Structure formats: structure tokens, C-alpha cells
Structure 1
């Protein structure tokens, strides 16, 4: 990326007062366009860098989720085999499965209750409806 450097609209040896308004306006417009392009490129670079960091973090969350799943699985097996010392292995597996069913049901109910409290973005929807109405009939 090149750095922004204002250009002089006059020729060497030319009096600054002799520069026309059109030339000045063209120079300013060109400089603003160049600055805008550079800002867009900077924004793209920053977004790419942040997206890379977010992707790595998401991968770590995925790994943590897999590790948590493995811990739950192994603790389930340990509980099942511990109960198998007191009763038949089939009954121990059934009891552990029932405990997981209760945990799943409780989590489902809590998630469903929380989901019911989520509302639509009413203000944004109203604004979009107004924009669509204005686009259909721009003069009012």
C-alpha cells in the first residue's frame, strides 16, 4: 500500500493564484478517491486479520467441546462400571442412561423457555418497512 501524499495542482514555476478551480477540484477529488481506496484496503486487511484470529479461536472452542464430550463419556462409563459392582451391568447402564435422559430433558426445557423470550428486532423491521415504502414512493 502506498502512503497518502497530497499532490500539488500547479506546475513548477507557476503562480498558485493562476491555478483554476477546476484543476483544484480535480486534484481534491483524486486525492479523496485515493485516500478512500487506501482506507478500504486497510479495512480489508484488518478484517482478514481478525477473521483469522476468530477462526483459530473457534477451532480451540471445537477442541474444548470434543474434550468435554470425551470427559462426559468416560465419566459415564466409570459410573456405569462402578454401579456394576453393586448390581448387574445391564441395570447399571440403564440407570446411567436414565440420568443422562433427565439431564437432557432439563436442558431442553430451559433452552426452550429462554428461546421464547427472544424477540424479533422490531425497530429494524419497522425501519426496513419504511425504507421499502419510501423506495416504492420516493416523493411524499
Structure 2
């Protein structure tokens, strides 16, 4: 409670007066945990989206080089087109790598459900109903 040191005997009404403060503290703690989990998930999605945008940039560059290679092939019939196709293939590999990294980063963020917050709320509800109790270690973590 709010009293430091030794445990004191308090009246029922004094204990009831503490309930709004305790409930407010509990709700604030749950909201802080929810915010922490949601920010982590959104950060993973943002990084994944960045990799996917990078992959699209390289795909568009690859298309330009591929078209240049086709133009060189048709226009001059020289081996110069081969170098353009090699560059296009390298750009395709880079795009594939970026797409894989983006996919993996987004997949790492899934599921987008705040599991810790839900588990904590379930424990709190059990404790309020008197079905369970909150371990002392959990109280110090908040």
C-alpha cells in the first residue's frame, strides 16, 4: 500500500479508498505494456516495408537494364547485350534478397496481437475474481 515499513491494520473503508488508485495504476501499467508491444510490431512492419520498397526500386532498375539489353541485341547484334543481361541478372538477385529480407522482417512481427498484455490482463482478472494471485515477481516488474 502507500504506507512504508511495517504492515498496519487499516479499516475496510480505508482499504476501499485505495481501490480507485490501484485500479488506475493497473490500467496505466497495462496501457504501457500494450504501447510497448504495439510499437515493436509497427517497427518490424516499417522495416519490412522499407526492404520491400527497396526491392521494387531494384526491380524497376532491372527492367530498364533488361530493356536496354534487348535494344542492344536487336540494334547491333553484338555481344554488348550480354553485359546488359548480366547486370540485369545481378539487379534481380539484389531485388530477390531485399524482398526476402522484407518478408522475413514482416513475418517476424507476426502475430500482431499483444500477447503479453492479454496474458497480463487474464492474470489480473483471475486475481480480481479471487481465482488466482499475482506472483510477487510480477509486481516488481511494473
TM-score per shorter chain, which class?
A: 0.3 to 0.5
Q: Normalization by structure 1: what TM-score?
A: 0.46
Largest Rg, 1 or 2: 1
Q: Normalization by structure 2: what TM-score?
A: 0.46
